[in-house]
Structure 1
Amino acid sequence: MGLLGDSITIRGGKPLIGRIELKGAKNLVTKAMVASLLGETPSVLKDVPNISDVRIVRGLLEVHGVNVVEGVEEGELIFDPSNVESAHFADIDAHAGSSRIPILFCGPLLHRLGEAFIPDLGGCRIGDRPIDYHLDVLRNFGAVVEKLPSGIRMSAPNGLKGAKLELPYPSVGATEQVLLTAVRAEGITELKGAAIEPEIMDLINILQKMGAVITVDTDRVIRIEGVDRLEGYTHRALFDRNEAASWAAAALATEGDIFVGGARQGELLTFLNVYRKVGGQFEIHDDGIRFWHPGTPLNPVFIETDVHPGFMTDWQQPLVVALTKASGVSIVHETVYEQRFGFVDALVDMGATIQVHKDCLGGQACRFGQRNFNHSAVIVGPTRLHGADIEVPDLRGGFSHLIAALSAEGTSTVSNVGIIARGYENFITKLRLLGADFSTED
């Protein structure tokens, strides 16, 4: 299912029971693919999920002259960057679609070609997510940035030089930009206020395999010593902890029992603590984590999203559906993206009792306070959800709508589900494996 017009009809009220397997994290794999541009020899990436974001990045690499072929393992891709070349605007624009990944091509392309071009950027409708951080970073390295009606053109007439940088907020994307640019820049780069998510650390692992010299301090300071040459890498991607948390929430909301193969405890520590407070049960195994509903009433909780090692923003949307089943009042304070509660309108239409507020309903005021963003939610439960017609608004919100429909009484039609394929590999097949009652139409 790849078209945004795809829909799925779900007959809810049936527990999801069974086992599904995870591949690599969307938030790591696509960046690792871009990193292959930096190598002088081919790179091999394993556990690559079959999702639309991966196909977009593969297309962008190919129009820039990278030869991409599938390896012997399922989910293995091989990237040969020996013939990297400039791409035509029309080709870049055609492959980029609504993805925001092209901005991360800039540093590697400036190193390889001395120039880069990106079209207007899209992405999920969850907030502004400006690219100013990225452009400021590239300017600090010496890039000349020219904004055009059709996009942004960059050049590096004097090459890229190391820089001292400090982010006003630990942005994952801006940290990735610094890493992908600094490893080949002349001199030393120091980044303060860096993001340190597991996907960032795995990207650092990949770059180190390629020959980069990178140190990470405990105070969110990353130092990169630029090198003249990087080789290709061979790497197995970190599992997708966002998908793991989504299926865990689905087990809770549907009163089910799901074994998530490939999930690991370390990267889910904060989520597992909250899951246990809600009343969800889990078992840690060598090959994954089993999540299930306890068979007793769930507990309300207070959640405040934050950058790692806090509670991830991508975890709150699926869990909110489960919290509609909890006995009492739960509060979720969103501090990462300012517009992430648009998905609750559909839950309210299905019978949930949820109110969103502009005030900071958390332990402390956040950067969205007094800015008129609906960034706090109060969920009162337990409530019974009923079937409804729903249109998917964004990736995580869309999967949350699927969970709501699966847990609801009656029939729901969820449209625009092609968005979900951006980050959830073969989710239709996985629903079948778990015994969901549904039908699809294209």
Structure 2
Amino acid sequence: MLDVHGGVPLTGTVVVRGAKNLVPKAMVASLLGDTPSVLRGVPAISDVDIVTGLLELHGVHVTVGPDGDHADGELTLDPANVAQGSIVDIDAHAGSSRIPILFCGPLLHRLGQAFIPDLGGCRIGDRPIDFHLEVLRQFGAVVDKTPGGIRLEAPQRLRGTKIKLPYPSVGATEQVLLTAVRAEGVTELKNAATEPEIMDLVMVLQKMGASITVDPARVIRIEGVDSLTGFTHRSLPDRNESASWASAALATGGDIFVKGARQQDMITFLNVFRKIGGTFEVGEDGIRFSHPGQELRSIVLETDVHPGFMTDWQQPLVVALTRASGVSIIHETVYENRFGFTDALRRMGANIQLYRECLGGTPCRFGRMNFKHSAVISGPTPLTGADIVVPDLRGGFSHIVAALAAEGTSHVGGIEIISRGYEHFLQKLDTLGARIEYASGC
């Protein structure tokens, strides 16, 4: 339990390293190589710890930086002795992460078999793995669902195939890439996700010897190769964390320089940030985000796949919008249950109404379903401290920001989940002047 004393603007500098949505996937890609890989910019987050444990269970030797130095976030991953891990140990390590499903393709290539336990992750909407399994079947894998998880085998070398995604899913695109690069023949993936993290994974695989082309119309073609080598790569910075700190500056009336933030990955966010009234300055090594010192403006916004406004950006931004003048509307088109975090904001005094209707023009999969996926935020409304339990990663960070923006003290539980995607976030908050402390008895 964390006690958060609000009413203090966050000011100062934070450092953002490699992207949570790339680093664990690049670590999995190291399984595909015949020689060691070096990954730099690796953040100290729990998802990295989970994947490290899973890789080690499968025989990959993971070492941290030269002489154990964490300063550059460097990992060396040596897959020379890949082997099938213990089912019990895999299940114990993977329970809180959805990354293990991406181990399937690489393990099928290396060992001819794989086991994937029941998957965890944030409860923000339906993330079925059935499509992942169907993709693997198209490559030639034999899939057997068991009560404890999923067992896969590749009696023969996996074969290239043609796939069209019903939705440009990031996870499904990653699955295809990690499986197709060593499959026999050509794989064509239509309606692929093209997020910056996907493109960075493509660059990792290309460094390993893969042949991948990306067409403008969301078509990715992969020519399978017999073998791959290791890679040396520095991850792109985490644009989600960068945007979160930007929203924190806006919500608390602060001024935060995010060292490592990169403009080219955040163009859509920066446009919205400016429309609300926030100010930013792009420097050579980061972006400075600040409150304008005057009333914020309401907006109408729809989340979407890249290059649209990321779903991960909207939750921290909603907190800032409670301080904007007028009525803001957000239409969530990516995850159907992403607004669950607003319950706590309403208890703190926010005026937020949720609707099942699509309050926007972007094509949406949830329009005729019973999901409250549109939000109307009326402001400005002052927030007051409350008791909060963190529901998911981005929602949890949003709750911390709301508590910092509120008058009085909030008691926040379940903060451990935030460490899945935010490196040293409590230390960073302390550096920015936040008044936080562990509750007595915790």
Q: Same fold (TM over 0.5)?
A: yes
Describe the superposition over 1:252-290 as per-residue Cα deviations: whole angstroms up to 9, x where unpaired.
000000000000100000000000000000000000000
Correspondence 1:40 to 2:38: no
Return the alpha-carbon distance in structure 1 between the equivalents of residues 315 and 414 of structure 2: 18
Return the alpha-carbon distance in structure 2 between the equivalents of residues 243 and 301 of structure 1: 22
| Contact 2:95–2:118 (8 Å) recurs in 1 | no
Return the alpha-carbon distance in structure 1 between the equivalents of residues 77 and 326 of structure 2: 52
Describe the superposition over 1:84-136 as per-residue Cα deviations: whole angstroms up to 9, x where unpaired.
00111101001102200000000000000000000011110101110112111
Correspondence 1:18 to 2:16: no
Show the counterpart of 1:382. Answer: 380
Return the alpha-carbon distance in structure 2 between the equivalents of residues 134 and 281 of structure 1: 41
Show the counterpart of 2:57. Answer: 63
Q: Which piece of structure 1 moves more, 63-72 or 358-367?
A: 358-367
1:334 corresponds, among 319, 332, 335, to 332
Sequence identity (%): 71
| Contact 2:302–2:362 (8 Å) recurs in 1 | no
Show the counterpart of 1:176. Answer: 174
Show the counterpart of 2:89. Answer: 91
Return the alpha-carbon distance in structure 1 between the equivalents of residues 278 and 437 of structure 2: 29
Instruction: Return the TM-score normalized by structure 1.
Output: 0.98
Return the alpha-carbon distance in structure 2 between the equivalents of residues 367 and 162 of structure 1: 29
1:347 corresponds, among 345, 348, 363, to 345
Describe the superposition over 1:215-247 as per-residue Cα deviations: whole angstroms up to 9, x where unpaired.
000000000000011000000001000000000
Describe the superposition over 1:126-167 as per-residue Cα deviations: whole angstroms up to 9, x where unpaired.
011101121111011000000001100000001100000000
Letter in 2 for 1:331: I
Return the alpha-carbon distance in structure 2 between the equivalents of residues 52 and 440 of structure 1: 20
Show the counterpart of 1:4. Answer: none
Return the alpha-carbon distance in structure 1 between the equivalents of residues 404 and 389 of structure 2: 15
Show the counterpart of 1:260. Answer: 258
| Contact 2:277–2:292 (8 Å) recurs in 1 | yes
Show the counterpart of 1:106. Answer: 104
SS in 1 for 2:376: strand
Q: 1:180-329 residue pairs with structure 2 within 5 A? A: 180-329=178-327
Return the alpha-carbon distance in structure 2 between the equivalents of residues 436 and 98 of structure 1: 29
Letter in 2 for 1:370: R
Return the alpha-carbon distance in structure 2 between the equivalents of residues 363 and 281 of structure 1: 28
Return the alpha-carbon distance in structure 1 between the equivalents of residues 17 and 416 of structure 2: 19
Extract unaligned runs of 5+ from structure 2.
none
Return the alpha-carbon distance in structure 1 between the equivalents of residues 74 and 42 of structure 2: 6
| Displacement after TM superposition at 1:366 (Å) | 1.3
| Displacement after TM superposition at 1:364 (Å) | 4.2
Show the counterpart of 1:157. Answer: 155
Q: Which piece of structure 1 moves more, 220-229 or 72-81?
A: 72-81
Return the alpha-carbon distance in structure 1 between the equivalents of residues 438 and 78 of structure 2: 38
Coordinate RMSD, CA, aligned: 0.7
Describe the superposition over 1:25-83 as per-residue Cα deviations: whole angstroms up to 9, x where unpaired.
00000000000000000000001000001000000000000000011252100000000
Letter in 2 for 1:352: A
Return the alpha-carbon distance in structure 2 between the equivalents of residues 66 and 95 of structure 1: 15
Return the alpha-carbon distance in structure 2 between the equivalents of residues 180 and 296 of structure 1: 48
After TM superposition, what 4+ stretches of structure 1 lie above 2 angstroms from structure 2? none
Letter in 2 for 1:341: F
Count of residue pairs the alignment pairs up: 436
| Displacement after TM superposition at 1:8 (Å) | 1.2
| Contact 2:95–2:117 (8 Å) recurs in 1 | no
Correspondence 1:8 to 2:6: no
Show the counterpart of 2:23. Answer: 29
Residues 255 and 320 of structure 1, relative CA distance in 2, 3 Å threshold: same
Instruction: Return the TM-score normalized by structure 2.
Output: 0.98
| Displacement after TM superposition at 1:405 (Å) | 0.1
Return the alpha-carbon distance in structure 1 between the equivalents of residues 132 and 236 of structure 2: 24
Return the alpha-carbon distance in structure 1 between the equivalents of residues 120 and 318 of structure 2: 26
Describe the superposition over 1:338-365 as per-residue Cα deviations: whole angstroms up to 9, x where unpaired.
0000000000000000000000001245
Return the alpha-carbon distance in structure 2 between the equivalents of residues 413 and 243 of structure 1: 23
Show the counterpart of 2:371. Answer: 373
Extract unaligned runs of 5+ from structure 1.
1-6
SS in 2 for 1:342: helix
Letter in 1 for 2:383: L
Describe the superposition over 1:295-324 as per-residue Cα deviations: whole angstroms up to 9, x where unpaired.
000000011000000000000000000000
